[in-house]
């Protein structure tokens, strides 16, 4: 949506974390344009459903291509776009419900393929657009509209999940820190393989965690956010797992495997082993 579209009437709530994520993504795409000279139409943003999915319509300025698909399927749609046209920069935007609940089955396969897309996940620990139901990242015991007596499912730690599944680039960020988040997204986009930038993007209406993340000295709330130490070895998965043991929300790159070839690279290598035949040769093979 390059300029105000009167007809488009969806709005994020005031103060929604997704505003920061949107700005960071716009910055990362503009940085890429300036760096590579490739036009903005070289970017495709594949969105899921929910508050997060609407990001694709709310991007300001010059417009990338967008695909606002169906609930939970942004990853396999991005697989199709990327493997059809590996020269495109493909970004997935999704929320915690969309990506980790209904779409959870697609993370493992893309990690195994090392699909060369960057997924930016807006985690607010709640289903916002359907008005406040519990999600995989909602805390155990939390009372929500769908857990009237408290959530009995344990809270998922997405970063541990990504590490276990073999995602080759994992970063964690906060929507309130736009410039640093843009940098993480840029790193994710530049990574050759499957990258996830998991962002804490609080829902000001149903699950406002800004204070818990940033802390509040007057109320004696310690900040949940902490910087990944500069000396953290991002090639060391064990070290990343260790870091996560301290709880809270890390900010920075946790893991970066720079050696594994991406899916499009592997396919290109595979073609060297294949012996492509023309359709005429294939037809001739059935002749008798």
Partner 1 sequence: MEMRDFVVRFAGEGGQGVVTSAEGLAQAATQVGYHALTFATFPSQILGGPTWTQARIAVDAILSPGDDVDVLVAFNQDAYDEHNSEVRDEGVIIFNSNEFQLEGDSRGFGLPFDELARSTGNNRAANMVIIGALAHLVDMPQRYLEEFVSKRFTRGRSGDEEIIRSNIEAMTLGRDHISESGLALGALAAPNPPDFAQIMLKGNEALALGALAGGLDFYVGYPISPATTILIYMERNLVGEGKFAHQVSSEIESITAILGAGFAGKKAMTATAGPGFSLMSEGLGLGWIAEIPLVVVDVQRGGPATGLPTKTEQSDLMACMFPAHGDVRMPVIAVGTVEECFYGAIKALTWSERYQGPVILMTEMSLAERVQNIAKPDLSQVEDRRRQVYEGTNGYHRYAGLELSPMPIPGNPGAYVANGSEHDDMGDTTHLASRHIQMTERRFGKLKLLEEDEYERDNVEESIAIMPWGGSKGPALEAYNQLKASGVPVGWYYTMYLNPLPPKLLEELKKKDLVIVPELNYQGQFASILRSQGVKAEAITQYTGLPFKVRDLVKRVTEVTEAVRKEAAGV
- Residues found near partner 1 in the complex (CB under 8 A): 1-2, 5, 7-10, 39-42, 44, 46, 49, 54, 56-57, 62-70, 73, 76-85, 87-88, 105-106, 108-109, 267, 270-271, 274, 276-277, 279-280, 282-283, 286-288
Spatial separation of the C-alpha atoms in residues 54 and 5, rounded to whole Å:
14
Q: Which is nearer to partner 1, 90 or 243 (CB)?
A: 90
Query: In this complex, which beta carbon is closest to partner 1, that of residue 167 or of residue 251?
Result: 167
In the complex with partner 1, the residue whose CB is nearer, 216 or 269, is: 269
| 3-class secondary structure, 135 | coil
Minimum gap (Å) between residue 122 Cβ and partner 1: 18
Q: From the CB of 196, what's the least distance to partner 1, in Å?
A: 18
* Cβ at position 29, least distance to partner 1 in Å: 12
For partner 1, the closer of residues 63 and 133 by Cβ is 63
Alpha helices for 130-236 (secondary structure H): 158-165, 178-190, 210-214
To partner 1, the closest distance from the beta carbon of 48 in angstroms equals 10
Kindly tell me which of 230 and 287 has the beta carbon lying closer to partner 1.
287
Question: Rounded to an integer, what distance in angstroms lies between the CA atom of residue 236 and that of residue 141?
Answer: 34
178's enclosing H/E stretch is: helix 178-190
**Distance (Å, whole) CA 124 – CA 46:** 19
Question: Which residue number, 62 or 130, has a Cβ lying nearer to partner 1?
Answer: 62
Handedness of CA 142, 148, 149, 154 (dihedral sign): negative
Q: Which is nearer to partner 1, 84 or 217 (CB)?
A: 84
Closest CB to partner 1 among residues 52, 54: 54
Using CA atoms, how far residue 228 sits from 234, 245, 252, 254, in Å, is 10, 13, 5, 7
Cβ-based neighbours of 201, under 8 Å, separated by 6 or more: 16, 17, 18, 20, 21, 52, 122, 123, 124, 175
Question: In whole angstroms, how close is the CB of 259 to partner 1 at the nearest point?
Answer: 22
Q: Kindly state the smallest distance separating residue 26's Cβ from partner 1, in Å.
A: 14
| Cα three-residue angle 103-109-112, rounded to 5 degrees | 145
Nearest distance from C-beta of residue 188 to partner 1, angstroms: 19
Shortest CB 56 distance to partner 1, Å: 6
Spatial separation of the C-alpha atoms in residues 234 and 256, rounded to whole Å = 5
> In angstroms, rounded to a whole number, what is the distance separating the alpha carbons of residues 51 and 94?
9
User: How far is residue 210's CA from residue 204's CA, in Å, rounded to a whole number?
Assistant: 8
């Amino acid at each position: 949506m390059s300029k105000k579209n009167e007809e488009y009437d969806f709005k994020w709530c005031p103060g929604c974390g997704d505003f920061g994520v949107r700005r960071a993504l716009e910055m990362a795409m503009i940085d890429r344009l300036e760096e590579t000279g490739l036009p903005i139409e070289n970017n495709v943003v594949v969105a899921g459903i929910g508050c997060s999915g609407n990001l694709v319509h709310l991007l300001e300025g010059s417009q990338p291509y967008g695909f606002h698909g169906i609930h939970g399927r942004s990853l396999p749609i991005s697989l199709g776009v990327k493997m059809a046209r590996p020269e495109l920069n493909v970004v997935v935007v999704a929320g915690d419900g969309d990506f980790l609940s209904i779409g959870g089955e697609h993370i493992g396969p893309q990690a195994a393929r090392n699909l060369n897309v960057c997924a930016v996940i807006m985690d607010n620990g709640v289903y916002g657009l359907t008005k406040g139901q519990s999600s995989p990242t909602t805390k155990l015991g939390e009372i929500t509209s769908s857990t009237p007596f408290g959530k009995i499912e344990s809270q998922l730690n997405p970063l541990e999940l990504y590490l276990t599944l073999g995602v080759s680039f994992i970063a964690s960020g906060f929507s309130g820190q736009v410039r640093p988040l843009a940098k993480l997204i840029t790193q994710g986009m530049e990574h050759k393989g499957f990258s996830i930038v998991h962002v804490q993007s609080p829902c000001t209406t149903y699950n406002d965690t800004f204070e818990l993340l940033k802390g509040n000295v007057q109320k004696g709330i310690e900040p949940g956010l902490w910087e990944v130490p500069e000396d953290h070895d991002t090639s060391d998965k064990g070290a990343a797992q260790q870091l996560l043991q301290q709880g809270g929300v890390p900010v920075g790159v946790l893991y970066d495997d720079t050696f594994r070839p991406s899916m499009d690279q592997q396919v290109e290598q595979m073609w060297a082993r294949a012996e492509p035949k023309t359709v005429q040769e294939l037809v001739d093979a059935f002749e008798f």
